[in-house]
Structures are given as C-alpha cells and as structure tokens.
Structure 1
Amino acid sequence: MQRRGVVGALVVTGALVAGVGVWASGGGGGPAVADQQAQAVVKAVQGDLNTGFYAPGSIYGGLFSQGTLVEQVERHGGVLVSMASDRTRTVNQGVVLMDVQGKAACYALSFGLGAWTVRVTWQRCPADADLAVARGLLDHRLPDVAPVAPGQYAEDGAGVRALLLGTARTAQTGSDGASSASSAVLGVGTADGVLSAAARIRGVCYFVRMGGAAAAQSTVPLWQAPLDDQRTCGQSQAAAASGTYGEDAAQEG
C-alpha cells in the first residue's frame, strides 16, 4: 500500500453542498463519475483489508490509519467527510464526497475486518458539507510524507513541529510555509503510547499520528483532517482519529 501525508496552504470559504435527489441505494445511485470513484475507493479499502493467506505477496494489507483512507479517497477525486468506528474497529462507518471537481455526491462507506465487508451506498450530503473547502483540500494536495521511523522525531510538540517543518521544506513551500508550520500546532496528546496532534496551516487542519505498536508505525503520519473536523481542528478530534483499522491475518494465524 502506498502511504503518504500532506501539508497544505490555503484559506477557503464557500457554499455548502446541497442535498440531491434520492437515487437507489446499494453500490451506486449517484452521478456516473462519482459512482465510479466510490467503487474505486471500495477496491482500495478491500486491498487494505486483504492480508496474509488472502493476499500472498501483496503490498496491501495489515494495519492502516485514517490517513490511509484520506489518501485513497483523495487519489480518486474525493474527500473524507467524516469517519467513526467502534472500539474494536469491527464496525467502521464514514461519509465520502466524490467527484469534488464535478457533480459532487456523497456516499456512506462502511467496513469491518475483512475485504468482503466493504460497502458504499449513495446518500444525501450532510447539510454542512462545504464543497469549496473540499475543492481546496484537493487543490492543495502536496507530495507524500514517508512513515515516521522509530526515534525519527521526538514524540512531543517539538517532534510534531519538526515533522511539519520537514514536510513544508520537502514540498518547497518556502520560508513562509516553514514558519507557518513552526507555529501551527494547536494541541498534542499521548495515550497508550500513541501521540496525536492537530495543526492548522494557512487555514487547513491536519492530524498527526506517531508511535504505538511497531506494526502501526508504518501508517500515514500526517494527513488533512476530514471535512467535518476542519472547522474545530482540536486535539480531541486528532486523538479520536488516531486508531488503526484492519488486522494482519498472518500474525493472527
């Protein structure tokens, strides 16, 4: 699985996505392009969940993070609107907004622990889904950020700032981007050995995840927060987003 994180640079405001007419539920029901993009996301998440015996030699599978979902949805022309999961990660439900640059449409995304559990269903967009912000997030996707190696950054506010600074420099956003990153951290917390943080850079909210079990340290460390977290952008939201999904079937036997 390719993994990346992003740092952006923009301030955006705009109109809300209007709810659209009710189509049939199931694997599609929305505009054609959005349906195709949503199905591509399904295949990507199925790949994330195919592990061990089910995907011998595959680059997919194993633990992945909300950052992975954000990456995959963005790669297919959409943004993650929201994501929620139960404590066991066996029931994960979210909303994605696809074809953001065209005839935007929303889909409920759900998955459990196996590839066969992944499903998307067309739904009316949430009333507060801001299409202008969503387009801005896609417009300002920047180069990949490699997973954080153990000990690469201090697991505190200084380490988060160093990660943001390094990403800004790699993306060649200039001294202004780097200086913005240095003062962007809004909150940092640690629970069960996992550091989570929220940062806002030129109006865009980002979540950071570092540390934890060795298998989870190869996950995306930095990503644009879901659309419904862009406004509040707090450490509590980052902590809620810091869990991992999936399982390593090879390890489970």
Structure 2
Amino acid sequence: MKLLRYGAPGAEKPGLRHDDGTLRDLSGIVPDIAGAVLGEAGLAALRAVDPSGLPVVSGEPRIGACVGAVGKFICVGLNYADHARETGKAPPEEPILFMKATSAISGPFDDVEIPAGSAKTDWEVELGVVIGTRAKYVAEADALAHVAGYCLINDVSERAFQSERGGQWTKGKSHDTFGPIGPWLVTRDEIADPQDLALWLDVDGIRRQTGSTRTMIFGVATLVSYISRFMTLQPGDIIATGTPPGVGLGHKPPLFLRPGQTMRLGIDGLGIQNQRTIEARP
C-alpha cells in the first residue's frame, strides 16, 4: 500500500494512492496515518479495505508528510562511505546518531526555507524508515518486522549551523521545513529489498546526487536493531538512514542553496519530491 496524508498543514486527512493513480480518502476508516494504524493489525485492516470503494479525492490537494504524530525523528550520519570521504571524514565504526526536531517535518512539495543568516544550506536525499511496532533491544534478524514501511526524505541541512556553531548537529538540521517526508509511506511488503534502491537528487535540473542503498555502511536491519539498544522505538518514529555522495558540501568548490532554486529527488518505488527554496518567514 501507498499511504499518505493530504490537506492544509495541521489539518491533513489520511489517504491512499490507488493503483489507478487516484487519491482515495481513508478518513472514514482511520483517523490518521499514525500510531496503532502503523502496526501489523492496523495495516492488515487497511489491506482488507477495497480501495475502489473509497471516496476519490478531487482536484490537486496539498500532500503533507506521510506520517502523522511523529514522536522521534532520528538521523544517521555518514552512513555511505563515499559520502563520508567527500566530507573529509573517515567512515564510522558505529552508526552516528542525531535527532532532527519534529517541527522540521513538512510535505514533499512544500517550500523549503533558507534560514536567516544561512550561507550553507544543503540537500540530502535519504531513505526513511517508519517504525510500526515498539522495538526495544531487538535482534537484527527480527528488526525488519518492526518496520511499517519506507518513505523518501530530504534531510535539508545548514552546514555552518551544524559544524561551526558549537554543540551537536541538531541545530543545523532542525529549521522549519528541513524535513520533507513523502509523498507516501510504502508498506514493507511492497519493498522487496530496502538495500537495493536507487536514490537521486537534482538542483535546478542538474543531477547532484546519485546512489544506491546497496552502499550503506549500516543497513536498515542493523540500524533498527542498533538504535533500539539506546532508545525504545515507537510506532510512527522515523529513521533517516543517511545520504549518498553529491551533497553541496562535497563539491569543489562547495555549492549551497539560495532562495529561488528547485530541488527534485526520488527513490525507486517511493515516489518523487519537488521543493522550491524561499527566504525564511517569521
């Protein structure tokens, strides 16, 4: 299934992308794509619904983040060896974890703000993992059973805030709109192998990132198991699994975003995002 949320920010309704390409309303079936809906029983109940009998959503509504009520937005740094090298860092021996504020979450086609005082806003196409059932101290062999599905994420970053202002990476990752998610959550059963997905990102029509999840240092199962040793993962938590090479910071000389540009990105089977960059609003 391809599950999504549509409508005005803060008032999104649950929906489903039918195989015929139409958007179907799920608000009569579930309150949101969140919480228990993402568990095995919740997803099984949705699979039992005939999508052709659901109301068709007319027009072209805004598409919001594909998951609601996200409790934790966990990110993995330097998880592609070639990306680590382009930033001048050695590939990590253990996953590098940091948090992105949930207030950064936005829709896949919403504008991305360039923060006030920013000179180094950057792009990062990433595979997102959405947790479906509680995970604490899970074995790697059992880890994927706790995953509801996968989505596309742009882990937008302000590099000066991240690395030149002291403290943790979080301040460079958490500005409003720095977490476009979606357009849809693709349930785990539709992705044969999360370690065999192509990723790409264009800026103003120029290909800047090309990669594959095959080259992750730590795969999805490893990450879910590893993170569950340090914090309990809850339904709706999101893990951004790292980015392949080609970020602005890695170019010689570096390339960074400015207002008026366009980012377009995608992952096999998970859809496409498109964002315009604008100056930050109060």
Q: Same fold (TM over 0.5)?
A: no
Q: Normalising by structure 1, what TM-score?
A: 0.26
Q: Normalising by structure 2, what TM-score?
A: 0.24
Query: Which has a greater percent of strand?
Result: 2
